[in-house]
Structure 1
């Protein structure tokens, strides 16, 4: 009997331990916490807010955002209690003290601020101590500042750029409708390489527009359209603002070079800078400059009046060429093969195409390399690969393709 009682007690103890090891269902806070992505699909860390849960899985009464430094109190459902949010550097509220538990509903500004995702480049509105929009709002990423009304709507004509004196926003002036330039400017995504038009204090296009990334400047008409023949590259004498303020002259038709240049996109459909594209250079009259250079590869060559390369004039990076005295010769086998491979399709660079390298005489260089794959190999005078000379990316390519010992 005593043995049976001990066995029964032992069995109960085992059942208790087994039940204790059963995992409890996740709470609302824990499900909320694990559902927040901490990295983008590309693997970049983002500044998302991740709620804090206590040992029992309920929301900690005080929540803080590690990226912004703001802290606030929450209820049992994790909802922020209005009036408890504190900025970085200020003492947080005592979320365990009922006296610090106001029931004031959120204002329009607080709703706007708290529902704005904290991401690089996003605009988070600033609210004052009463929860109202601060009269002066500034974008930390772009440096622009502007005045707003009580609903947070921008007062037209008050926007200032980075480094400019900020507008006094105490006096609210009657609003006017946005101009064409302001619509153009405000709807342009702020991305590296994108052109953002400049508008004057009245919202009109400034007569001279400049691209911050390329350094090109040109004159525009009242609709912001470029006046042909006014574009200047960084290396060319620049127009002064007063030159663009002259009465609009009848515009001439675009030249072949200008149509070629303007047809090549500088941005992809996603708004990213297009790398590797060759953009021809045109002079003040719109004709091709005699010497053309590829900004990505560093190669330069001479062209005729139609922009066609003069065979035998291409030079590698670091060398010079005098296109006024250059003598064109018939194209070699290497040059014909190189020029037959399209470098662009529908205005975009052809990725993955192998383009052979020719020396100054138009012959195949002994060592050829594929820029996309990283493979290198030796070739004969006809451009045929020599067996056993190909090397993979990361391996030392053949140094002397004329030495049989290295083949």
Structure 2
């Protein structure tokens, strides 16, 4: 089959690789009909996530048709399914309390030492996201093996086209969980750093949850316009002092909750961020956390900090004193996708949530490398790329 493989920093290519096979009784094989490039994929593309090897198949946002099942799969051939990017067994301590992205069993034992050394515990399995998270082949391919297929995938009604539901695989539940982690209350003012796909869905989710004012912070004009179209007020951090603007927009008290949807590759010209950029480029495990630092300073005393943005290493000059002295609540983590699927599918069906506004480009799988390059270099206008196996150029 054809699949997108990682070959090195900012070097990906579509290759012919082995077809996936059923390995365990709970497996299923999915023929991919739609897959997408995620902002988190750019961390792999830029070489700042450890444990990615040449030849690894990328991609963790995908859906398709069931073509083969193991004897213990609950799926049936011919069903259309969206597959969560988190691989979860459904039976361990964490899965039983709906912490699906903390699954103890989905990361193979032989892969767990790296995560345990870095973080104290091993990571759960994730599709297409390094050997730190199991080394599973991803879905930017013609076919993919889905472990624990009786737990993860959600069956999609035939009347819903792919593009309405594809983002249930990651960024829609990630944006929703980000807003949920912000513990939004009526009349809250919420500030969201980053108007990429997760940030935009966090904005949409926060408004659905009842926030009275959502403020979007970015520097890309088109992305800020998308945020404004959802109902957010906007701040261009290249033109405005963010701290001063947020204090004014919150009546001088500070915003009630902040959401960092940027993560480890934040932009900015503050001296600490420029140093983090340099350290990240030479591979010493530094995260660029300038957006998170700014958010912590901006949130009001007693406020809430939600971090859906991906971090993988260490960061310097972290304002831990502000977290403690201001009495802040902090929630973060990989998304517990399975927890939200039924609820969010219903909100798509009834029109409460829209996802299609985000898609800017549709490409054949064979042009995936071009998609990565442009998604990286033209972030203002390439807001979301959907790849279609078999689509003609």
TM-score range, shorter chain: under 0.3
The structure richer in helix per residue is 2
Q: Which of the pair has more CA radius of gyration? A: 1
Length-normalised TM-score, structure 1? 0.21
Higher strand share: 2
RCO higher in structure (CA 8 A, sep ≥6): 2
